[in-house]
């Protein structure tokens, strides 16, 4: 079975890779990718089912926090029902989105902002070294450079320093990260094709 799964994985990867270079394999590539999309959609449904079963089990055992589990299950079922019945572009679904999802996530983002600010203030108390100081100094500089003054951009910082930091330093770092990601992706793909890594199971 392990050999069979490896053969299937290597064959699918090889065909999809070949579809980038060989036009004849484009249809096969598309077919395989569609199968993957379907499997991904089913996986979402499986995930939702698993989520419902876990929290239902917690509710049945009346564990600590089971009330939140009940709320989650109720919200999920309601949203799913409304979405399937009313469709996503229905006004009710917009209310659910604008009144529940977006404020909830936005509030979490706001809490994250407070937490990041608090961490930045306390950073030098825990780690008063050069890198900490540089980190905080850079953050403060970019924050200061991102803002504008009533009379316009902050001289030098908003017009020179901030663009230089974001377009030079950050760009260089981002490129390096992207190159590393590309190499890692290439290596991972080759390992999967050669069967060295079997993320689908078996090793």
Q: Is 86 in the site for another protein (CB under 8 A)?
A: no
Q: Is 77 in the site for another protein (CB under 8 A)?
A: no
Q: Residue for token digits 């449904």?
A: 45
- Calpha distance 128→176 (Å, rounded): 28
Chosen residue from 8, 140, 156, 160 binding another protein by CB under 8 A: 140
Chosen residue from 163, 184, 201, 202 binding another protein by CB under 8 A: 163
Q: Is 56 left (phi over 0), alpha (psi -120 to 50) or beta?
A: alpha
* Shortest Å distance, C-beta 51 to another protein: 13
Beta bridge partners of 153: 148
Q: Is 125 in the site for another protein (CB under 8 A)?
A: yes
* Shortest Å distance, C-beta 62 to another protein: 31
Q: Is 187 in the site for another protein (CB under 8 A)?
A: no
Is residue 58 within 8 A of residue 64, CB to CB? The reply is no
Q: Is 88 in the site for another protein (CB under 8 A)?
A: yes
Q: Is 30 in the site for another protein (CB under 8 A)?
A: yes
- Calpha distance 82→96 (Å, rounded): 10
- Calpha distance 9→7 (Å, rounded): 5
Residue closer to another protein by CB (options 1, 84) is 84
Residue 8 structure tokens: 């299937």
Question: Phi and psi (nearest 5°) for 149?
Answer: -95, 165
- Calpha distance 32→14 (Å, rounded): 11
Chosen residue from 17, 144, 189, 195 binding another protein by CB under 8 A: 144
Burial class (CB in 10 A: 0-12, 13-18, 19+), 141: middle
Q: Is 13 in the site for another protein (CB under 8 A)?
A: no
Chosen residue from 22, 78, 97, 183 binding another protein by CB under 8 A: 97
Question: Phi and psi (nearest 5°) for 153?
Answer: -65, 155
Residue closer to another protein by CB (options 5, 166) is 166
Binding site for another protein (CB under 8 A): 20, 26, 29-30, 33-34, 36-38, 40-41, 44, 87-89, 93-94, 97-98, 101-102, 104-106, 108-109, 113-115, 117-118, 120-128, 133, 136, 139-141, 143-144, 146-153, 158-159, 163, 166-167, 170-171, 173-175, 177-178, 181
């Amino acid at each position: 079975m392990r050999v069979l799964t490896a053969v299937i994985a290597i064959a699918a990867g090889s065909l999809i890779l070949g579809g980038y270079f060989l036009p004849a394999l484009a249809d096969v590539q598309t077919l395989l990718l569609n199968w993957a999309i379907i499997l991904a959609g089913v996986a979402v449904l499986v995930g939702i089912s698993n989520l419902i079963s876990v929290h239902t089990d917690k509710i049945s055992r009346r564990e600590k926090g089971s009330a939140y589990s009940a709320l989650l299950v109720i919200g999920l079922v309601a949203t799913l029902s409304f979405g399937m019945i009313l469709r996503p572009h229905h006004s009710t679904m917009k209310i659910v989105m604008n009144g529940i999802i977006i404020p909830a996530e936005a509030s979490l983002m706001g809490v994250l902002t407070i937490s990041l600010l608090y961490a930045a203030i306390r950073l030098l108390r825990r780690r008063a070294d050069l890198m900490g100081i540089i980190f905080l100094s850079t953050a403060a500089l970019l924050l200061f450079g991102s803002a504008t003054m009533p009379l316009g951009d902050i001289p030098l910082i908003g017009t020179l320093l901030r663009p230089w930091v974001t377009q030079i330093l950050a760009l260089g770092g981002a490129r390096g990260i992207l190159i590393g990601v590309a190499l890692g992706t290439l290596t991972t793909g080759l390992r999967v094709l050669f069967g060295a890594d079997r993320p689908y199971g078996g090793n």
